[in-house]
Structure 1
Amino acid sequence: ACVLVLPDFTEMMRALGYPRLISMENFHTPNFILVSEVLLWLVRRYEPQTAIPAAVETEQDRVFFIKAVAQFMATKAHIKLNTKKLYQADGYAVKELLKVTSVLYSAMSTKGVEQAELSEEDSSKFKFDLGSKIADLKAARQLASEIASRGASLYDLLGKEVALREARAESIARPLEINEAEKAVKIAIDSVLEQVQKTKDMLNNVALDEASLEAKIEKRKVELERSQKRLETLQSVR
């Protein structure tokens, strides 16, 4: 029953421009490599710059790949795929692939009808790229949202300009108070000098502590030498 969908699937893939020829024999036995190639190609028809990894060497890679493709199709194209059947990579997988190719083929056919009056040369140049159209739409929406946000921000700023203009003019017209400026600078200098003096005092205290500690160490050395001499004297008496 699964094989019956293959002719339609292969014809659709050929019409969509898939570079390889696909025959019914390709899916008589599981063929994961081909299924993964087709899936990745279909995904890129929707979004050429997709970041889905193409590695399918290990079982873990294949499971991750199938899940990533299924999630992409569900979110981007609203197509629900059966991951278990896709993983089988046989005729049942083709039924899942057909869900995607049918949408793309239908869209291309609709576009083809609209382009029926084009010349043969123009028709040969026509390429169906739903992915680029979706990307353009997303970019346009994002740009429109950003323009609206920037416009609202600019409107708010312009609304404050009247008050800001008055404050700016008042500040410019105000004469420069030299005395106040000198006073502020002097306060800043005094604060720095105070900090410098505190640092010097701390360094002096450290030096005093160091000298005191050295004196104590020297005293302990003298006491130790005396104790050693007494011990030697006692030992010699015995």
Structure 2
Amino acid sequence: MNRIRVLTSGTLFLFALYCLFFNPTLPFSLPIEIDIIAFIYFAFFPMKDMLSIANPSLYKGRQFKKHYIPNHELQQQEFIEMKRRYDYRAISAFVFWMIFMAVPGSLYLLGYIDKIWIFVFFALSNFSVFFAIFGWCPFHSIFIKPECCMECRIYNWDSFFQYSFLIFIPNVMTVILFLLGLLSLIEWEMTYAKHPERFYKMSNANLTCEHCDLDACRQHKKKRFHKTLKEEYYQNKI
């Protein structure tokens, strides 16, 4: 599914660039049928992320009880300190995103840039989420700095990141998508507040490399980001 979404998000981003340079009004004059199909496609994913039954994979569904195996050797104080570090990093990532949204959004609302730029930023945000999965994630490397994707503090913020810019070009469908992305983030954070033990390897014995079902991570990302696997990878290569 992620590979399909890479293709569709990349195509959308290329389409946005084409419109930016050659036909700035095109995205806002498409037939209503295309808008409805796009809306249904984009609305599906944040709704899926909030439902336990729709998340059999561990990497997207670790907030749900079915993926939690208690670590009975957990050191509570060490866990609290680690959680506090990740919470501060999540706040810094959220502040960065708000600033990143506010700058072009303010320029658009003040009339310095055209609506097409908001569409481009939406398409860029949408594509960047999947580029981060298979390529490089700035939130992973700069802000959150987890050992691996499996315990990334903000992993299910993706729909919020993808749909945030739509609030600047409001209509029924864009507002619903924005609210779904926001609701997905709120659901993740509320579950995290109630059950933080489900989200970290230290407390959830199910979050191990052996159980990892994130293909992109298992195939190459851990070779680059995970300390232990990175050492093993290079030793085997030598």
TM range (shorter): under 0.3
Q: Which has the higher helix share?
A: 1
Q: Which has the larger radius of gyration?
A: 1
Q: Normalised by the size of structure 2, how large is the TM-score?
A: 0.27
